[in-house]
Chains A and B, each alone.
Chain A
Amino acid sequence: MNPSSCAAVREALPWFVGGDLDKVHLDEVRDHLRDCVPCRREAAALQQGVARLARHRDVRPAAVDDDFFAAMHAGIVAQVEVAAAATGAPPAKGLGRGRLRPWLPLAAAAALLAFGFWLGHGGEPDLFVRPALHSTPTSLREPIVVPWSGPRFEMVPLGAEVEPVDGLEGGEPAGWMARSRLHDLVDEGMVLPRNR
């Protein structure tokens, strides 16, 4: 085995195990791994790390459930309504409040405005002066040209089914397919399976 070849493969392995290598280099790395046991061991160790991180996405913290997120949604909307009211911005009336009591943000906004008014009479700098955030931007007064309006995939609502998609730039396996590449190597006898 040519040592420089091993070095080049080792450099490529962190991308290889995550499916982040192009087809040409992918084939070269696979060919090398077919014959080189030390590089196969290194690839397997790296791949286990990627797999552990992928499994980590399924872990959830305790007590984080629908109620947690419902309360979080209400809390965010309340904070934003207060922020909007403090600037006198129109969207304050337009935010969905979830389970929030409707008078609460208005009361908080009134208290903030009263405090700001009191500060103003005291001759102190107005801590609440901010630029008007929600006047219609200039860019919205004219037809908007959107050469590229967002992600390459349409972001779908969280409740919708998501179809698996292929890599945009074509040619490469995506997602779990790429990550399971080493499984293919196991199947081909190139990587020894882990003994349990």
Chain B
Amino acid sequence: MLRRVQPLARSEPSHGVAASPAQGPASLPPGLPQAVLELAQDTAVSDAELVRRTLAGQHDPFSALVARYQKRAFFIAWHVVGRTEDARDVAQEAFVRLFKSLDKYDFARSFYTWFYRIVMNLAIDALRKIRSARGSSLDDVLGGLPDEREVAGDVPLQRGEESGQVWSVLDQLDAKFRAVLVLRDIHGLSCREIAPILKVTHATARWRLHRGRQMFKEHWERKHGGSEL
């Protein structure tokens, strides 16, 4: 008989730098000064090294950090808050806060989990403010999904429809479950990477993922019908 399954401390597939339109190739913005572009593209220069150089007052390293991470920051924020303008504001504020707290960076820890934590904290705050501002009635919630109508036109119609449905289900979820689904199932981070970003234990991150997937399925079936299987 199958034993009761406990959250596991291992077995995370990890593809935190997975390529996608949100974070993949050709993602540096155009118009960068040549020195910044070269720095951002130089795989020999780690993020931590860019932090060191910024703290030492050298030229361009922070700009290179922005170039490396701005799309990832924007898309994580977008998938949490659901609105382009708010996601851009979150990403911009995250970089300003990052800059102001660079001297607190622990070089023994990974840079990106530290930075994503700043992004995610701001995004969750923004989501809660948006929800609070528009009230809690279902009509208000469903009427407040601008990006459902903003989705780019090159997405096939069926995908566009599904995208709107995904937004509406995500919007039903509590921010802490939405956050873990965004990081794990949309952005492909492992629970081991997610835990420090959300400042929770690994077991808590796994439990939220468990509940988040269950709730996503239940809300989907409630809103859009059950599986045809």
Contact = CB atoms under 8 A, between A and B. Distances in A.
Interface of A: 2, 4-5, 8-9, 11-12, 14-15, 17-23, 25, 28-29, 32, 40-41, 44-46, 48-50, 52-64, 66-70, 72-77, 79-80, 83-84, 90-91, 93-99, 130, 133-137, 139-140, 144, 146-162, 164-169, 171-175, 177-178, 191-192, 194-195
B209 interface: yes
Given A28-B3, A53-B166, A80-B66, 16 more contacts: A20-B206, A21-B5, A22-B8, A45-B229, A55-B159, A56-B186, A58-B20, A59-B155, A61-B147, A70-B30, A70-B31, A84-B99, A98-B29, A98-B33, A157-B42, A158-B24
Contact of B55 (A29, A60, A136, A151): A136
B32 A98 contact: yes
A76 B150 CA distance: 24
Interface in B70-91: 70-72, 74-75, 78-79, 84, 88, 91
Interface of B: 1-5, 7-8, 10-33, 35-36, 40-43, 46-48, 52, 54-64, 66-68, 70-72, 74-75, 78-79, 84, 88, 91-92, 95-96, 99-103, 107-113, 147, 150-153, 155, 159-160, 162-163, 165-166, 181, 184-188, 190-193, 206, 209-211, 213-214, 216-217, 220-221, 226-229
A12 B48 CA distance: 38
Nearest to A15: B210
A154 B43 contact: yes
A172 B26 contact: no
Nearest to A25: B5
Nearest to B58: A94
A154 B11 contact: no
B2 A29 contact: yes
